[in-house]
Chain A
């Protein structure tokens, strides 16, 4: 079951990533092209579907399948960028705290405590609300907010690795502290950090969708899945499929990333908490 988790999660993630990467070539229509004469055309499994719009069209007559495919790009790029930013912050803090201990560790623990007491969604919404929606702002805000788990795991694993023989050997061989951190400690805690990376990516994708849904994420007309659900909300009681389609896409992608992360954790062994 665990191994199948890696395979299923990995396969879905690959398909979504390929769709996002090849979006300009595989999307049947321009995701921004409006056709007001063909608004809210139904998807293929319903009566009266248009053959050229497999998943129907939205309230402005834009092809839903094309927007869905381009939406994969938005989710994946934001998810990956957030992990890069939050990983850089969290891993640096965690490794320093775990390696040096003492006062340094006290400061790191304090920062983690502060970060956890900040309500993420609220602060992210407030920042985007004040500065105006843009993709890079969403990445920056979420990156600055989601580093706590990286820091916690990096700190705990570094504490374990610090006392192992090969670190002592590196000391004895005269390696400098930065060198030991980068070439002895970091590679040995990387597997645990990879697991955290998948969890954070899944969380970042969900949060981006929630922010965009509330109108304070990525700006329209960008085809974000959260934004598609927000735009479909006014029509959901008559044409429920307008929120079913992007919602299922979002759920499936996040589930796939979590399955992959869970499988990796079992493969590598759980990180100390």
Chain B
């Protein structure tokens, strides 16, 4: 177990380092950053001042090392546009993105687990087909468009929910539902296939032979085994959702990390952009690491 843990940790560190390099390279793509920071009305003298002030005149490897050194202790420098520390900007907005991500995941699990069980129990029937069709529709739904349609319907026509902002829990209902749609297809299919496999196994036949109740067989014996992969994929899905929430935060004007990233991209605020890419990637790496460990604890065969 110790060597498994160590190997996983080294892998996670290597991935983080690769993404760090990528995040840095990303912001250097546009050529001369000093020109884009200075804006269209700047003179050559202004640009030269900015170049020295931000250390952009030094060689790239030196800039990279300086950035990595500071990023390692959570210091991402200062935002050009917001005139604030990047780390405090992200910390300030992270709760909104996390609330949105967890709401989305919660809704996705509440919808997909019962649907997956239902489809597995009635495998091959019209109920099963309907559930699979639903998963496929969810997969084809453009999230930003679904958000706008829900705004028109629930926000304007019915007046049930607020269309933008973050004042109360109601503000998270629509964005959370839209975000959930990105995870529902995968989670539903996984629950379904896991349950079908579990229901066909020997221990379920034994449980049936013992005369256990249908409820006990389904929820105590089959679901417990089928739930394992669902739990680990759910944590990976949460990572994807935090990365994908940028679109939904922009549609619903939720001022979370995704919205911050979008604003910074449109304003060429590169310290914020590279920090958000890095933070989201690290969160994903940590989530997958936890999922792997969780699985290894529950299933010794995976520790090899």
Contacts and interface: CB of A to CB of B under 8 A. Distances in A.
B145 A247 contact: yes
Given A113-B15, A251-B140, A251-B145, A119 B29 contact: no
B262 interface: yes
B26 interface: yes
Interface string A197-237: 00000100010011001111000000000100100010011
Given A123-B26, A123-B277, A126-B277, A116 B11 contact: no
Contacts, number: 131
**Most chain A CB neighbours (cut-off 10 Å) among B145, B149, B152, B247:** B145
Given A214-B262, A216-B265, A119 B277 contact: yes
Nearest to A225: B142
B29 A127 contact: yes
Interface of A: 1, 110, 113-114, 116-123, 125-127, 129-131, 202, 206, 209-210, 213-216, 226, 229, 233, 236-237, 240, 243-244, 247, 250-251, 254-255, 258-259, 262
Given A226-B144, A251-B145, A254-B140, 14 more contacts: A114-B19, A117-B19, A117-B285, A119-B244, A119-B284, A122-B276, A123-B22, A125-B265, A126-B27, A129-B273, A209-B145, A210-B142, A214-B144, A229-B145
Q: Across chains A and B, which 4 residue pairs bring their CB atoms closest together, nearest first?
A: A119-B243, A255-B140, A129-B265, A130-B30
30 contacts: A1-B129, A113-B11, A114-B15, A114-B19, A117-B281, A117-B284, A119-B246, A120-B243, A121-B243, A121-B244, A121-B246, A122-B258, A129-B265, A129-B268, A206-B142, A210-B144, A214-B250, A215-B266, A216-B265, A226-B142, A226-B144, A229-B144, A233-B148, A240-B152, A243-B148, A244-B149, A247-B149, A251-B142, A254-B142, A259-B136
Interface of B: 11, 14-16, 18-19, 22, 26-27, 29-30, 129, 136-137, 139-145, 148-149, 151-152, 156, 239, 242-244, 246-247, 250, 258, 261-262, 265-266, 268, 270, 273, 276-277, 280-281, 284-285, 288
